[in-house]
Structures are given as C-alpha cells and as structure tokens.
C-alpha cells in the first residue's frame, strides 16, 4: 500500500488520475539560524486549508515523447522549473513513467506564501505513483519531496503539523490522545491576497542574524495553540516585517511588547516582486494596494473577529488574530464564526480592493 496522504484527495480511473492540492497557512513561524547550505533553520506551525488546486494526469497518445503541461486559471510558467514537471522528472530517476498529459487548474495565488506550488508537487508525486502502480516506498516519496522544496513534505502528512529543520521535518501537531489544536474548536480563516508577489529567497535573505532579545528567537508553545480561547495569542511570523519593509526599501521599526515586531512601514505601489524592486511610499487607496496598507487596515479592524483580544491585559501584550503567512504576500485573519468572517472578507474586498475568501482547516471528512 502506498502513502496515505489524506491531505491530497485523489482518484485514478480508466487511465486518468486527478488530485486536489490544498493551500497552507503558517500560524507561527520563527527563523532560528542561517545554514551553511543557504537554507534556514526554522520552527513553524502549518495548517492545511480548504482552498485547492486541481491536477489531472493521463498518458499521452502514441507518438508523443515529451510531457505536456497546460495551466488554467492563475497564470504560472509551464517550463522545466514548474514543480509539477520537476516532481515527474524526479520520479523518472527511479521508475519508468510514460510521457504525460497534465492539466493544472490553478486557483491559489502564486508568490503568496500559501504553498500552492509545493502542494502541486506533493500531489503529483502521489498521483503518478498510484496511477502507474510504481510502488515507491513512503521513505522514497518523502525524500523526493524534501528535495523539491521545504514545504512539500508537509503536504504528504495528515494535517496540522509542527515543521522544523528547513521545514522538511514534519511532526503531527496532535497525535492520538494528545491535546487538540485550537482545543478542538474549528475556527474560520479570512485569507487576504493582495495582487503583489513576494520573492521567498529575497525575504529570507533580508534577515539579519543573530536575532537579539527582545526580538527573538521566540519559542513555539504547543499549549497556547491547544487553548480554544487563547490560541491567537501565539500567532507570529518572523518574516512579516521583512516582507513589508522589503517593499519600500526601508528598515523595520523597533520591536513591540513581548518580542513581537511592529509593522509600521511603508509599502510598494508597484505590483512587482517584493524584495526585488523596492520603490516609493505606499498609497492606501483601493486599486493601488500596498503591503503596508493591508497590514495597517488589518491592525485597525481584525480584532473585531476575536473580541477577547481587545481586553486591556491582552491588547497590551501585542496579541492579535492575524499575520502574514509564509514569506507573503497573503495575510490571514482568524474568526470564530462564518457570518462574521464572510462580512469581514467583503469589507476587505470593498475597502482595500484585494482578494479575500473564507476557509477552514482542511479535513478529508468535509469532502472536496
């Protein structure tokens, strides 16, 4: 029996295979050190959410000798560097695979910190393995996944996980009999997606080491995320201030209480990759959105979805229910109920001119 990979619902029938690949959010992300291999040691809590790309794979008709990858929806390059094609190439180093016809329906924004490409790669691995009955051992699939990208192994897992190393060391958050994430609650997440792309290498490359107190490093606390009312107090992303600052070519502000970074920086009015082409000050009007204007708007409005964060004892500690995910550019906001989350998403779309949608943690029993 192959790898179960319940985060990647799939079906193989009559020579064709389809797989749905979810997005992820980083509820906590601390970068601890820069490694000699150019990567970074980190600790992150990742959750899969019900927002998915769709990949269909079949063998090509006789006479074709090359793979064909078509993409619908969000535009992405289809050359050899595409993670779907890289996953197929990696499998071919171990098993024979015929030329493939692949169609990727891309719903997830790219360069948003949502792990769309990594999920696509993981889905390709398990789908091709099952479709052609290759019998790749779980350890082999996990090794291939790690070589494709730091986030790819997460999608081969079973749910929310604490990831360490450069992200490839995946530990299920709550094993059988252990306290559950969010105390067993099932919150909603408003995912806010500016029309801006963030360069992951540039954002990581802008970090300065060593991190000094009170900025960090901040330790991950399992018990905080096991509490149904307090878990938003654990939300943190070391890369957030860097991502916003990279947009303007500026510097971050001083750290705030309890080691959390303030985000009062300007953004980039150009819709170019952050960290690559810095330019002038941010403009807060819809249609010319910046990272800083999104951050400022969330700072002013997000707590209405989690009223307990307005209590003085909590507010002065810098706790909040929103953050950047990954290296950006997407943000998430935690909400207790669907109606409030939907209304908040509508406000974000209207007042900011950004994408905003509501999702829950992905669970196979919810259906696709």
* Residue-wise pLDDT tens digits, 44-101: 999 999 999 999 999 998 889 999 999 999 999 999 999 999 999 999 999 999 999 9
State the pLDDT confidence band at 176, using cuts at 50, 70 and 90. low
pLDDT value for 32: 87
Asked whether the beta carbons of 32 and 217 are under 8 A apart, the reply is yes
Beta strand 68-73 with 100-106: parallel, antiparallel or unpaired? Answer: parallel
Average pLDDT of the chain, as a whole number: 85
Q: Which of 110-119, 130-139, 216-225, 253-262 has the lowest mean pLDDT?
A: 253-262
pLDDT value for 314: 47
Return the H-helix or E-strand segment holding 19.
Answer: strand 16-34
Beta strand 331-335 with 188-193: parallel, antiparallel or unpaired? Answer: antiparallel
Which range has highest mean pLDDT (207-221, 274-288, 307-321)? Answer: 207-221
Mean pLDDT, range 166-183, rounded to an integer: 85
Mean pLDDT, range 310-316, rounded to an integer: 51
Q: How does pLDDT run across 29-46, given as a tens digit for each residue?
A: 999 888 888 788 899 999
φ and ψ of 326, to 5 deg? 55, -135
Mean pLDDT, range 108-123, rounded to an integer: 97
State the pLDDT confidence band at 215, using cuts at 50, 70 and 90. low
State the pLDDT confidence band at 143, using cuts at 50, 70 and 90. very high
Q: How does pLDDT run across 222-275, given as a tens digit for each residue?
A: 999 999 988 999 999 999 999 988 754 444 433 333 333 332 222 333 333 444
- 83's tokens: 């993670």
pLDDT value for 55: 98
- 311's tokens: 């209590």
Q: Which residues are catalytic?
A: 24, 151
pLDDT value for 343: 97
Q: Which of 209-223, 231-245, 282-296, 352-366 has the lowest mean pLDDT?
A: 282-296
Crossing angle of helices 338-352 and 291-301, in 10° steps, is 140
State the pLDDT confidence band at 366, using cuts at 50, 70 and 90. confident
Q: Where are the domains of the chain?
A: 10-169, 178-366
Mean pLDDT, range 309-329, rounded to an integer: 75
pLDDT value for 340: 96
Q: Which of 159-163, 221-225, 260-264, 300-304 has the lowest mean pLDDT?
A: 260-264
Domain 10-169 and domain 178-366, same fold? Reply is no
Q: Which CATH number fits domain 178-366: 3.90.550.10, 3.30.70.890, 3.40.190.170, 3.40.50.300?
A: 3.30.70.890
Helix, strand or coil for residue 361? strand
Q: Which CATH class is domain 10-169?
A: alpha beta
pLDDT value for 177: 65
Closest of 194, 206, 204, 141 to residue 356, by C-alpha: 194
Percent of the chain residues topping a pLDDT of 70: 82
Closest of 280, 289, 278, 295 to residue 352, by C-alpha: 289
pLDDT value for 191: 98
Q: Is 324 a residue whose pLDDT tops 80?
A: yes
Q: Is 134 a residue whose pLDDT tops 70?
A: yes
Q: Is 276 a residue whose pLDDT tops 80?
A: no
State the pLDDT confidence band at 26, using cuts at 50, 70 and 90. very high
pLDDT value for 318: 61
Give the number of other CB atoms < 10 A from CB of residue 262.
14
């Amino acid at each position: 029996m192959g790898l179960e990979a319940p985060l990647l619902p799939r079906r193989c029938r009559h020579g064709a295979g389809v797989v749905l690949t979810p997005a992820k959010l980083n509820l906590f992300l601390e970068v601890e050190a820069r490694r000699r291999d150019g990567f970074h040691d980190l600790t992150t809590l990742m959750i899969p959410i019900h927002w998915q790309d769709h990949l269909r794979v079949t063998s090509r008709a006789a006479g074709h000798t090359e793979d064909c990858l078509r993409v619908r929806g969000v535009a992405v390059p289809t050359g050899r560097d595409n993670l779907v094609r890289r996953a197929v190439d990696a499998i071919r180093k171990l098993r024979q695979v015929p030329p493939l016809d692949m169609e990727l329906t891309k719903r997830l924004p790219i360069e948003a910190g949502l792990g769309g490409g990594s999920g696509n790669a993981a889905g390709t691995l398990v789908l091709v393995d099952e479709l052609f009955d290759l019998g790749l051992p779980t350890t082999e699939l996990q090794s291939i996944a790690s070589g494709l990208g730091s986030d790819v192994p997460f999608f081969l897992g079973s749910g929310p996980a604490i990831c360490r190393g450069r992200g490839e060391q995946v530990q299920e958050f709550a094993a059988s009999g252990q306290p559950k994430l969010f105390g067993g609650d099932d919150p909603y997440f408003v995912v806010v997606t500016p029309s801006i792309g963030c360069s992951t290498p540039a954002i990581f490359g802008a970090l300065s080491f060593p991190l000094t107190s009170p900025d960090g490093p901040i330790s991950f606390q399992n018990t905080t995320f096991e509490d149904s009312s307090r878990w938003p107090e654990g939300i943190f992303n070391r890369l957030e201030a860097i991502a916003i600052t990279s947009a303007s070519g500026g510097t971050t502000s001083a750290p705030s209480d309890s080691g959390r970074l303030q985000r009062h920086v300007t953004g980039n009015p150009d819709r170019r990759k952050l960290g690559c082409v810095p330019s002038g000050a941010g403009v807060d009007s819809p249609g010319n959105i910046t990272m800083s204007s999104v951050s400022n708007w969330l700072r002013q409005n997000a707590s209405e979805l989690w009223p307990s964060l307005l209590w003085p004892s909590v507010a002065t500690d810098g706790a909040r229910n929103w953050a950047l995910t990954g290296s950006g550019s997407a943000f998430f906001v935690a909400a207790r109920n669907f109606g409030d989350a939907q209304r908040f998403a509508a406000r974000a779309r209207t007042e900011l001119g950004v994408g905003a949608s509501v999702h829950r943690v992905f669970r196979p029993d919810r259906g696709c």
